Structure 1
Amino acid sequence: MSLCISKRTSRLLAALLAVLMTAALSTACGSDDDSGSGGGSAPDKVTYITGFGTFGREAYAYVAQDKGYFSDAGVTVTIQPGQGSGNSLAALAGGSAQFAPVDLSSTIMQLGDGKVSGVTAVAAVHQTTDAAVMALADSGISKPADLEGKKIADPAGSVIGALFPAYAKLAGIDAKKVEFVALEAQQLGVNLATGSVDAVGQYRVGRPNIENAVKGKEVVVLPFGEYLTESYGAAITTTTKIAEDDPDLVKRFTGALFKGMRYAIDHPDEAAALMAEKFPTLNKETAAAEIELVGTAVQPKEDGAPIGTMDRERVAGAIKALEDAGAVQPGLTPEELVSFDLVPKS
């Protein structure tokens, strides 16, 4: 049996085929843009862990979220309170988070000793190490040598405790003559105020929290940066896989995050109020004071350099200082620590 098709039917079939091919091409072209960077495509979803808790110093991430900077960059961000550098590195390496501000010295020590792998820094938060020891002025502690024979409280696993031997060696004191006791971050100020401990480990930007806890008593700050001069503080850290496979995501995320940083620094009271609204137990005045200190900590030394910049020679110097102090095994290179092609540039 033969099948006969009229000329009219042939023309109709040809027209229908053309319509279907046009629709298919349109769909295919649309899928090429489905990169999560805008244009109506689905945003990338990431988890960000704060440096530590929900203190005022962490406001910039919440500002970036609240102001829509992340969504404008095509990124949906879940923010989780952090518990220190060690936990953050473990979360990144384990895949439960994609970005976190991690103390660069902690990353040097853990990468250099093989305790963690598959992570890389992509931008500096603090241009110098923020680690410090704080004491009351009437305690008799005014210089590193005064710490010998004293008791310092610090959260378990804190980078300050991990860095202390290197700091002590460079400062010319015996770290073995200093006793460290583990306390939760929220307990540090109270125990310092009551005299239960002689000093506490604390980031410099956390000084307002300590001053608030000791209720007006004068606080002495011994910054590690006086001796660890090449070190950066916290650095935005991700996995090497994300850095290599999706550098555009890294740049969009850090760009939005630092936009939140700039806004928080320019509007500390507003940023503090935002944090207090999210976390009602937060003291707004203390939070605003911390944000102002962050503003000084993030400013690059080089004129015209953007927030987040990192210098290869300085990173090499930071590694060498920790090697010389016996805090890390030799061999780690700056490129194994930092993805310099992703670091913010002028």
Structure 2
Amino acid sequence: MSLCISKRTSRLLAALLAVLMTAALSTACGSDDDNVNGGGASGGSAPDKVTYITGFGTFGREAYAYVAQDKGYFSDAGVTVTIQPGQGSGNSLAALAGGSAQFAPVDLSSTIMQLGDGKVSGVTAVAAVHQTTDAAVMALADSGISKPADLEGKKIADPAGSVIGALFPAYAKLAGIDAEKVEFVALEAQQLGVNLATGSVDAVGQYRVGRPNIENAVKGKEVVVLPFGEYLTESYGAAITTTTKIAEEDPDLVRRFTTALFKGMRYAIDHPDEAAALMAEKFPTLNKETAAAEIELVGAAVQPRENGAPIGTMDPERVAGAIKALEDAGAVKPGLTPEELVSFDLVPKS
């Protein structure tokens, strides 16, 4: 007996087969949305497409993130990173807490103060960038400012929302000076050196690694640096910070991101001129020599105190000491613990 199939039936069977094959391929390969919203290289729930905010602006000190992106270290780790210029620790913490960014280097002292006072929540540090606080005040050597006491009665320029201004009262108390006798004025970061050079202000708030920028702006005049780390001895500087949600739900993403970022850090430190040239290519107004000098200072700032410890290491006892110093100075309410501040299981280990 022969079996006859009409042309109409054949067309219906062909269409059904096409639908089934499409569904099978979709199930096997996944979709772009799966990659964006979770899964990725680690199969976690956090996105592999992340936004990273720099510590502040696009200075040479931020080169390591751009190096990691340019050299393909992020892509090798299965992470697509959008880098955005930062505007200080307060803004970065707000962006993390609000979900518009997933990673940022945030000054740990700022995070202590904001978490401790309940101004922000849902964030956690996962790796140190600078092993000591990078906050400092800089002045011209001929200004008469050579020690903390000389700042009384003086005018300091600092960007609005900067951790240096927020941390200054604690620094002043530990240094034995009256913070109320020091006037802070808000200026954009790019205006600090120019206003210091013209004498419009007596000093400026600046990260220690930003010293070459100030020296370039004051045209060779000698610069005096008053580092906060002389008194806040247990404090770390910037720390890579993310949300507690990402840290808890996708620790693999955190590890992949920080590993790639610090690979960029090591390359930038070993090749400061190349890293500076990369930054100047991306940001033509950047001075390559100044950027390279900043990168070299970053190289010293990231080195751990402990022999053999990796870049990014953080010690719970030191974090506890940093919290206590700010509590004793009245900069933060008592009660914050190191574990509320740092996800130590995600911190780089030897």
- Deviations, residues 184-224 of structure 1 (Å, cap 9, x unaligned): 11110001000111100000000000000000000000000
* 1:157, distance to aligned residue in structure 2 (A): 1.0
* 1:36, distance to aligned residue in structure 2 (A): 1.4
* 1:8, distance to aligned residue in structure 2 (A): 24
Distance 1:191 1:28, change over 3 A: same
Q: How many residues align?
A: 346
Distance 1:16 1:298, change over 3 A: same
Aligned equivalents of 1:329, 1:42: Cα separation in 2? 32
Kindly indicate whether the alpha-carbon contact (under 8 Å) linking 1:37 and 1:43 is maintained by their aligned counterparts in 2: no
Task: Tell me the SS of whatever aligns to 1:33.
Answer: helix
Match of 2:307 in 1: 303
Instruction: Indicate the RMSD between aligned Cα atoms, in angstroms.
Output: 4.0
- Deviations, residues 264-312 of structure 1 (Å, cap 9, x unaligned): 0000000000000000000000000000000000000101100000000
Higher mean alpha-carbon deviation, 27-36 vs 79-88, is at 27-36
Task: Tell me the SS of whatever aligns to 1:3.
Answer: coil
Distance 1:336 1:2, change over 3 A: farther
Distance 1:39 1:69, change over 3 A: farther
Distance 1:8 1:90, change over 3 A: closer
Distance 1:119 1:15, change over 3 A: closer
TM-score, normalisation: structure 2? 0.90
* 1:53, distance to aligned residue in structure 2 (A): 0.2
Distance 1:162 1:6, change over 3 A: closer
* 1:3, distance to aligned residue in structure 2 (A): 13
Kindly indicate whether the alpha-carbon contact (under 8 Å) linking 1:43 and 1:71 is maintained by their aligned counterparts in 2: no
Task: Tell me the SS of whatever aligns to 2:31.
Answer: helix
Match of 1:61 in 2: 65
Higher mean alpha-carbon deviation, 279-288 vs 2-11, is at 2-11
Task: Tell me the SS of whatever aligns to 2:292.
Answer: helix
Distance 1:295 1:10, change over 3 A: same
Kindly indicate whether the alpha-carbon contact (under 8 Å) linking 1:100 and 1:238 is maintained by their aligned counterparts in 2: yes
Distance 1:255 1:288, change over 3 A: same
Match of 1:240 in 2: 244
Task: Tell me the SS of whatever aligns to 2:145.
Answer: coil
Distance 1:21 1:333, change over 3 A: same
* 1:37, distance to aligned residue in structure 2 (A): 1.5
Aligned equivalents of 1:41, 1:117: Cα separation in 2? 20
Distance 1:157 1:30, change over 3 A: closer
* 1:15, distance to aligned residue in structure 2 (A): 20
Match of 2:93 in 1: 89
Distance 1:10 1:126, change over 3 A: same
Distance 1:219 1:26, change over 3 A: closer
* 1:79, distance to aligned residue in structure 2 (A): 0.3
1:43 paired with 2:47, answer yes
Match of 1:8 in 2: 8
Aligned equivalents of 1:247, 1:230: Cα separation in 2? 27
Aligned equivalents of 1:322, 1:308: Cα separation in 2? 22
* 1:242, distance to aligned residue in structure 2 (A): 0.3
Distance 1:50 1:11, change over 3 A: closer
- Deviations, residues 154-176 of structure 1 (Å, cap 9, x unaligned): 01111000000000000011111
* 1:18, distance to aligned residue in structure 2 (A): 17
Kindly indicate whether the alpha-carbon contact (under 8 Å) linking 1:140 and 1:146 is maintained by their aligned counterparts in 2: yes
Kindly indicate whether the alpha-carbon contact (under 8 Å) linking 1:33 and 1:41 is maintained by their aligned counterparts in 2: no
TM-score, normalisation: structure 1? 0.91
Unaligned 5+ runs, structure 1: none
Aligned equivalents of 2:149, 2:8: Cα separation in 1? 100
Higher mean alpha-carbon deviation, 35-44 vs 122-131, is at 35-44
Kindly indicate whether the alpha-carbon contact (under 8 Å) linking 1:131 and 1:202 is maintained by their aligned counterparts in 2: yes
Runs of 4+ in 1 over 6 A off after TM superposition: 1-23, 29-34, 38-43
Aligned equivalents of 1:33, 1:86: Cα separation in 2? 32
Task: Tell me the SS of whatever aligns to 1:302.
Answer: coil
Aligned equivalents of 1:149, 1:53: Cα separation in 2? 30
Kindly indicate whether the alpha-carbon contact (under 8 Å) linking 1:43 and 1:76 is maintained by their aligned counterparts in 2: no
* 1:115, distance to aligned residue in structure 2 (A): 0.3
Kindly indicate whether the alpha-carbon contact (under 8 Å) linking 1:119 and 1:239 is maintained by their aligned counterparts in 2: yes
Kindly indicate whether the alpha-carbon contact (under 8 Å) linking 2:128 and 2:236 is maintained by their aligned counterparts in 1: yes
